[in-house]
Structure 1
Amino acid sequence: MTEKARNRLLSLLWLALAGAAAGAMAFSSIYLYLKPGLPSVESLRDIRLQTPLRIYSRDMKLIGEFGEKRRSPITIAQTPDMFIKAILAAEDDAFYSHSGVSIKGLMRAARQLVASGSIQSGGSTLTMQVARNFFLSRDQHFIRKFNEILLSLQIEQELSKDEILALYINKIFLGNRAYGFQAAAQVYYGKDINELNLAQWAMMAGLPKAPSTYNPIANPSRALVRRNWILKRMLDLGYIDQDAYKNSITAPVTARYHGRDLDMSAPYVAEMARKEAVELFGDAAYTDGYQVITTVDSKLQDAARKALQNGLETYDSRHGYRGPEQRLDPELLADNDQLVDLLREIPLLGDLEPAVVTAVAPQSLSVQLRDRRVIEIPWDRGLSTIRPYISENARGPRLKSADEMFAPGDVVRLRRVLISAEEVEKERENARVAAIENAAESLADATVTDDPFTTPEGLADDEQTETPQPREEWHLTQVPAAQSALVSLQPEDGAIRALVGGYDFRQSHFNRVTQAARQPGSNFKPFIYSSAIERGYTAASIINDAPIIFEQTNLEDVWRPENSSGDFLGPIRLRQALYLSKNLVSIRLLQALGIDYALNFVENFGFDRSKLARNLTIALGSSALTPLEIARGYAAFANGGFRVEPYLVDQVLDVHGDTIYQALPLTVCSDCPETSEQYGGEPEPIDLQSIPQETALASGEREPLELRTLPVAPLHADEQARPRAPRAISAETAYIMDSMLKDVIKKGTGRMALSMKRGDIAGKTGTTNGPRDAWFSGYSPHLATSVWVGFDSNSELGKNEYGGSAALPIWIDFMSEALEGLPERHLAQPDDIVTMRINPRTGLRTSRGGIFEIFRADRLPGRENYGNYPSIYSESPDTPATNDDQAQESLPEELF
């Protein structure tokens, strides 16, 4: 080598060394500049994947999911090996061999940049994608890329390859709110990742590159190209054989959107639980994967929803058809796509399907559904019974022709009715019998040439052998204008077993169980009666059911309360007065007890005295209360006299399934010895002949009950760790009130519930002026349930609507299913309860005839002697009984 050549070579070597040194210095400078801003890789070990809040029933049925990111983390061990190979083939086949950065990939990206003048790809490895997804943005800037490279090198030094891959599998965004491949498998295929096949795994592996571009739902053709490219890569890399490749590239695209299907409908419950979770954990509730387990029972919740919706629809049908929901321009009928889009914007309410009338015939309607089907609604499926709504108290005449009310373009509601195969067979059998009867009548008049063996007309030969199949029918209906609320508690501890806050959550998020404070009417009377029984009255005490007038100095303040029936029965026993719901007796009783005493006493049931009106109208339920407050009060009658607090959230699990919160409710312990701390003792019996008369007419308001987060119980705490529920009333008063409330069903305003054929149910109707509010609250020892029906606007329900007609049918439907299969349970009779024979007209003991009544042993009535008849009981103690009820009770009656 010549001297000149040697010098040139040395110069090039020095230049290369200088360039390398300069590059190293530049890289070191960039590293030193960027290093302070890089996050700690160690934090990846403790990273909390953003997992949504999930709400469950007590039997682990999903009822709600809240959070922007849908995620279901899985481990590498839970991830199919072939799916991992699909990811590596698509994104980074050298993942297990490089140190976090692929020089080859970066050089390829650089060449693309020089050739095109813009960034085409980032040359990112899986590790670099993890760094970007956890810590960095997706902005295409050089500084971000350097950060990504540096962080990737750090990650590779501190985490294993499997740990890095697990982070990638669970973090990557894959479209449709899905983060991580397990969540994406649920969204696109409705399955777990390990339930998919090779073609589906390849399709999933193609999503990270561009979730919108290669989305198999939005862009199935481009997704298919990407999938088949990945399958070819897997073949070239030796991950799959030729047969698997050929079978997979010919597989159809089966992806479709699978929203997270809820196991049951309980949106009011889910919303209440969400609020409690946010109170407990703040905004982290939406991202940290908490699982809230409520006290709601899925079977009871479903029964409550159906009962409430059916009850409102039945009430609504009694008051007339208000006409089409909307009237669209008939010209829209020519544009089917636009028509379908409009229909799909109309929410499904209470399972009632929106449809558009496309044609009207005299005795039928042709309507189009959201799924583009056009069906016919015959006259006998909702049209023949239509009477136009005029007011809640008036309806127009029945339609004679459908075109009197309907026209093309009208939006109506339909109910889908599925007719089972058994019902189809029954219809066919009825038709067969009718056809045979008609044939027999014809045969009696037939000539000898008639063939007696001809198949009866209307009964085809093939119908005799064809297997009956279920069919669907569509009936015309409408969304109810009225609203309702239902809540059912477990009497032992106040656990909410079912709660429905309105006809449909999509119609209104207003939760009428907890937010609608309405007047309970006679639903409140049992609490006043309890205070009387506790104070010394008995079920046989006589109160005069007669007119009464309260006057103030201002003539406008004259109050003339009346019974709902408009009649007066004179002297009447307390038991009768309750099951006949006599308003005047309740007012006289409260007047005798004293308002302050009664208000203090009802606090034992959980009512806030300061929010109850301080006047005699509280005897008629004038103070606004929520269904939840009323249900809590009735739970005391169901459990033998104890006050419980309603609660909804029973348990909270963290993302790992560990219990981090456990409710600790007040729980009834009937067998535990009672202490003064539990129950303040019974009030001194009053002198029934010297009771002060109070006629104060003040006013007051009532705020709704708010559910409170309960104390946290020690983990794995047994029943003995629960705090004991305090007494609201004595066991004796609870037993007597239970027997009186059972009479409401046996022979009072709740007689409709006799259809349940159970002896352990009790309750009370309630109806307010107008009527505007209809209630029924009742119980068996298994459940305490309150139902309210009314309008949010507080308008009238209709002159013939009462608690027994509007609310009680909902209660019956729900409780019939809720109690199905459960044995009858009755309160245990306290030791000092005795049965005595009394004269039903006087309430006094008698030795002959009369009826049986129950008493506390220390509060027995006197023997028949009108001289001892207290003046407060009746202005005319000798007035004979003239009502039918008293006459019927002249004979002995059985106790229950």
Structure 2
Amino acid sequence: MASTHFAARLILWLTMSTIAGAGLVMMAIYIYFAPTLPDTQDLLDTELQTPLRVYTRDGRLISEFGTKRRNPIRYEDTPQQFIDALLASEDDAYFEHFGIDIKGLARAAFELLSTGRKRSGGSTITMQVAKNYYLSSEKTFSRKFTEILLALKIERALTKQQILELYLNKIYLGKRAYGIEAAAQVYYGKSIQELNLAQKAMIAGLPQAPSAANPINNPERAVKRRNYVLARMRALNLIEQEEFEQAARAPVTARYHGAESEITAPYVAEMARQFAVQQYGADAYTAGYHIYTSIDSERQLAANQALQRGLLKYDRDHGWRATGTTLPVQQYSVPEQPALEPWLSQASSSFDIDWPATLPAWQEYFRETPDSGILQAAVVSRVLEKGAWIYTRQGERYVSWNGLKWARRKVNVDVIGNPLKTANEVLTAGMTVWFEEKEDGIHLAQQPEVEGALVSLDPQDGGIQALVGGFAPASNSFNRAIQSDRQPGSAFKPFVYSAALANGLTAATIINDAPVVFNDAGLENTWRPQNVSGKFYGPTRLRQALYKSQNLVSIRILKRLGPQTAIDFISPFGIPANKLNRDLSLSLGASAVSPMELATGYAVFANGGYAITPYVIDRLKDDDGNVLFQHVAEKACDGATSEMRQLELDMQASLGISTEPSTCAARVIDERTHFLIMTMMQDVIRRGTGKRALALGRNDLAGKTGTTNDQKDAWFAGFNPKLATTVWVGFDQPQTLGRWAYGSNTALPIWVDYMQSALQGVEEVPYRQPEGIVSVRIDPETGLLAPAGQSNAIFEYFRAENVPTEFAKPAATVEQQQEKGGVVPEQLF
């Protein structure tokens, strides 16, 4: 009896000693680690790393920058069913324990001691919050002790709901998704509130192995984990048996959504990214900024498609280059069967593809080859005599002869080979190709070598409506819309003509279109400029010379003005003076400018004569919706608005009142000069090189074509009062586009295609004839007043003070003079 009593006392003493020892150890651990524990109140002020997002003006996502996708959600906005699922699988005693799970830790310790391996961590959600926000993922005892102590400290400082909200927004759930809302968007393209039970359970099961067991990387393993979560919910009576069975049988509906752009505008996205980084440094990628641009999503889509269609049209017209690679095609081996030989001898081996053996390599090609705008990747599976079958991401598709017959071999930029007779002249099974979906079916295509750019501005305030800097941004980040300086050719002439009209010339001024020779010691050769046609047209009115794009007239206009006078007049339009040649080549558009700069200048013509500044960043908000940056645009005001605003500013200044800068843009061309040049540019479309724009059926369009020497650059810049758009086509390394490539048939069709969509629903805006402009009848040959009864007289606009005072001689007399003298070449030097 005494021995039993002694044994009991010994056991009690050992137990008490063990507890006391453990307590001392825990106290020592606490004393050691406590000074290093962070202040848990900082958790409430933690700024979750959220990416930079760029949007169109109408709120459609363009792009996202940053390594972590996150969409923070509040606890009260989280569905209770998801919370039940998460706690059932991760920490079912979460609302009962004080931050640590003693049983779980003991179980984990026992497993470690008995097996030498760590199977379960025994971590509570609070401990995971401590690790995710403060600690590394290293597996050491010191890190685990710190985690436990920090969890206890967090539980004393925050409510259970606050801790769980931190967990919901921090946990990594695969595919760069951090937090449950981001995961719902990535896997299902929906908010967590919109998911069904099976989908919520799928996400609730991800924390254990987010990369290896998510429904995209490993659907089978993900389903097992999802069903475990559902089973735990059923065991805890959180769902009914019928709900459990239905959700457990549900198919996997997850697929990658991520932050897929709602609108393709990679060049705009890069401009926005650069702006954010310049303003906020590396924080731009993690602070959750939202940039809203001036881009109109519908116009951007139209610009993308118009430029690609135009470049593909040019590419097709210049022949097939056969640049694709060839993937292996595995054929079925057919055993010899004499009874079937008559049939087998007639079967084509191209129909005997061993698809299970062939498809893995083809599907790998599709994974590595993203679509390129309207171009989609494909692999040729079968070639017929007058058609072909291609394997695409959507399965097999048929390409008819109509979609193939264009692919005549390219010989050089001006020559293509003979018409095709059969499809196998260009295609073989296994060849990787591109195709374009058209209204009449699938058309074979290839990535074009030629490049282009399109810039479309709101001329009233400079907001960029659409911008495309090249055909395929994935292959080249070079933004041709703003970074490429090219000669605009005749598209520059309206600026020179405007300077002429502002300096006393009229639309009826006669300039001789005759040969001219330049002898300049600075030139290697004598310069003998010509018109594109190679012809000379003699005395020509300015209006005619512009819409016919006569080079010799432009040269003589600039010679009369002087290059410096022209530069002083043109540079306020938004074209840098340091880019403008200070010689007569300026008249032919030999000064290299970017498409953006040319569009900026044309916006002055579109808005009535006001210099606007293009912008793409409208505003920038932080993650809480506070506006950190707001662009203030200077707008084109009419004369009355501008004068009233200026009077108001002057009065306030005289009274010593501080004022904001005027929001009215500066006028750089007077309204009468503007009206005259605008009507002349309308004639470019009505009767000149821009006639293709008549297809739009509008009366408020004006513009100018441009083609440089040897057809290295093709342009069209045009506008109505609501939209100014410039298109450029050329090669990155300047080379000829071909002898038949001009602005009128290469760039203008792209402009028309875009404007057809961009101006849909936009009412025509009539141009107002300003005071001081009169219309009188003139003789079209001399520009003088037409005598009464002249049958071929035309109307022309003049400033009231510039109306001709002389009458033209009778037409017969003029004809006689021409018969006697003809056109005499003029030597300027």
For residues 357-389 of structure 1, what are the alpha-carbon distances to aligned partners after superposition, in whole Å with 9 as ceiling and x for unaligned? 344333233433345x34443323322x43221
Partner of 1:891: none
Q: 2:736 aligns with which of 796, 808, 817?
A: 796
- Asked if structure 2 preserves the Cα contact closer than 8 Å seen for 1:99 and 1:153, the reply is yes
CA distance in 2, matches of 1:733, 1:756: 27
Deviates more, 1:805-814 or 1:846-855: 846-855
Aligned AA for 2:794? I
Report the CA distance between 1:740 and its aligned residue: 0.6
Give matches, 1:560-571, under 5 Å: 560-571=528-539
Establish whether residue 854 from structure 1 lines up as the match of residue 822 from structure 2. no
Partner of 1:738: 678
* SS of equivalent to 1:668: coil
User: Following TM superposition, by how much is the alpha carbon of 1:31 offset from its aligned partner in structure 2, in angstroms?
Assistant: 2.3
Any conservation in 1 of the 2:172–2:179 contact (CA below 8 Å)? yes
Q: Does 2:194 match 1:177?
A: no
AA aligned to 1:567 is K
Unaligned runs of 5+ in 1: 420-472, 680-718, 867-875, 884-896
Instruction: Please state whether the residue corresponding to 2:478 is helix, strand or coil.
Output: coil
The 3 A distance-change label for structure 1 pair 347 and 200 is closer
- CA apart distance, 1:16: 5.6
Q: Which moved more, 1:120-129 or 1:798-807?
A: 120-129
**Do the aligned partners of residues 877 and 234 (structure 1) sit closer, same or farther apart at CA in structure 2, a change above 3 Å counting?**
farther
Q: Is the 8 A contact 2:404 2:423 kept in 1?
A: no
* CA distances 1:610-633 after superposition (whole Å, capped 9, x unpaired): 222221101111111111000000
CA–CA distance in structure 2, aligned partners of residues 676 and 604 of structure 1: 23
2:696 match: 756
Alpha-carbon distance, 1:409 to partner: 3.4
Counterpart in the other structure of 2:708: 768
Q: Which moved more, 1:11-20 or 1:562-571?
A: 11-20
User: Which whole-Å deviations, capped at 9, do the CAs of 1:382-413 have from their partners, x for residues lacking one?
Assistant: 22x43221111111210122333333333222
Cα distance in 1, alignment partners of residues 523 and 218 from structure 2: 78
Q: Is the partner of 1:101 in helix, strand or coil?
A: coil
Greater shift, 609-618 or 122-131, is seen at 609-618
| Match status 1:492 vs 2:460 | yes
Contact 2:692 2:744 in 1 (8 A): yes
1:756 positional shift: 1.3
- Which one of 498, 503, 521 corresponds to residue 535 of structure 1? 503
**1:834 Cα deviation from its structure 2 partner:** 1.6
Matched with 1:389 is 410
Q: 1:769 to 1:329 in 2, by over 3 A?
A: farther
- Relative to 1, partners in 2 of residues 1:627 and 1:508: Cα closer, same or farther, differing over 3 Å? same
User: Which stretch of structure 1 is more off in the superposition, 87-96 or 193-202?
Assistant: 193-202
Cα distance change of structure 1 residues 380 and 79 upon mapping to structure 2, 3 Å threshold: same
CA offsets 1:776-828 (integer angstroms, 9 cap, x no match): 00000010000001111211111011000000011111112111222111332
Q: Displacement of 1:507 after TM fit?
A: 3.4
Name the amino acid aligned to 1:172. I
Q: Displacement of 1:12 after TM fit?
A: 6.6
After superposition, residues 137-536 of structure 1 pair within 5 angstroms as: 137-328=136-327, 335-336=357-358, 337-371=360-394, 373-383=395-405, 385-417=406-438, 473-536=441-504
2: CA distance, partners of 1:614 / 1:622: 10
Is residue 785 of structure 2 the alignment partner of residue 845 of structure 1? yes
Give distance in 1, aligned partners of 2:128 and 2:594: 54
TM-score by length of 2: 0.89
Distance in structure 2 (CA, Å) of the matches to 1:608 and 1:489: 18
The sequence identity of aligned pairs, in percent, is: 47
Contact 2:186 2:258 in 1 (8 A): yes
RMSD: 2.8
Letter in 1 for 2:713: D
The secondary structure found in structure 1 opposite 2:636 is: coil
Q: Deviations over 1:165-192 (max 9, x none)?
A: 1111111001111111111112222221
Shift of 1:10: 7.0
Tell me whether 209-218 or 757-766 shows the greater mean CA deviation.
209-218
Matched residue of 1:240: which SS? coil
In structure 1, how many angstroms separate the alpha carbons of the residues matched to 2:401 and 2:736?
31
Tell me, yes or no, if the aligned pair for 1:324 and 1:406 is still in contact at 8 Å.
no
Corresponding residue to 1:826 among 762, 766, 785: 766
Deviation at 1:92, TM superposition (A): 1.1
Distance in 1, matches of 2:329 and 2:11, equals 85
Gap change, CA 1:375 and 1:488, over 3 Å in 2: closer
Cα distance in 2 for partners of 1:840, 1:44 equals: 82
Report which stretch shifted further, 494-503 or 246-255.
Answer: 246-255
- 2:652 corresponds in structure 1 to none
Confirm or deny: 8 A CA contact 1:71 1:179 kept in the other structure: yes
Name the CA distance, whole Å, in 1 between partners of 2:427 and 2:212. Answer: 46
Alignment-mate amino acid for residue 839 of structure 1: D
Number of the residue aligned with 2:725 = 785
The answer to whether the 8 Å contact 1:268/1:511 transfers is yes
Change (3 A) 1:564 1:881: farther
Query: Separation in 2 of the partners of 1:229 and 1:19?
Result: 39
Separation of aligned partners in 1, 2:10 and 2:152: 34
Residue in structure 2 matched with residue 77 of structure 1 by the alignment: 76
Query: C-alpha separation between the residues in 2 aligned to 1:6 and 1:329?
Result: 86
C-alpha separation between the residues in 2 aligned to 1:568 and 1:202?
Answer: 80
Could you report, residue by residue, the CA deviation over 1:762-786 in whole angstroms, capped at 9, with x for unpaired residues?
A: 0000000110100000000010000
- Structure-2 change in CA distance of 1:236 and 1:621 (3 Å): same
- Structure 1 residues 215 and 721, CA gap change in structure 2 (3 angstroms): same
Distance 2:330 2:94 in 1: 61
SS at match of 2:482: coil
Q: Do 2:213 and 2:221's aligned partners in 1 also have CA atoms closer than 8 Å?
A: yes
- Whole-angstrom distance in 2 between the partners of 1:518 and 1:677: 39
Aligned length: 780
Distance 1:554 1:155 in 2: 80
Asked if structure 2 preserves the Cα contact closer than 8 Å seen for 1:533 and 1:733, the reply is yes
Counterpart Cα distance in 1 of 2:413 and 2:315: 9
CA contact (8 A) 2:451 2:731 kept: yes
1:805 aligns with 745
Q: TM-score under structure 1 normalisation?
A: 0.83
Q: How many Å apart are 1:862 and its aligned residue?
A: 3.2
Q: Identify the residue that residue 656 of structure 2 maps to in structure 1.
A: none
Kept in 2, the 8 Å contact 1:55–1:294? The answer is yes
SS in 2 for 1:514: helix
- Counterpart of 1:768 in structure 2: which amino acid? T
The alpha-carbon distance between structure 1 residues 170 and 380, as it changes in their structure 2 partners (threshold 3 A), is: same
Judged with a 3 Å threshold, the aligned counterparts in structure 2 of structure 1 residues 554 and 163 are, in CA distance, closer, same or farther, namely closer
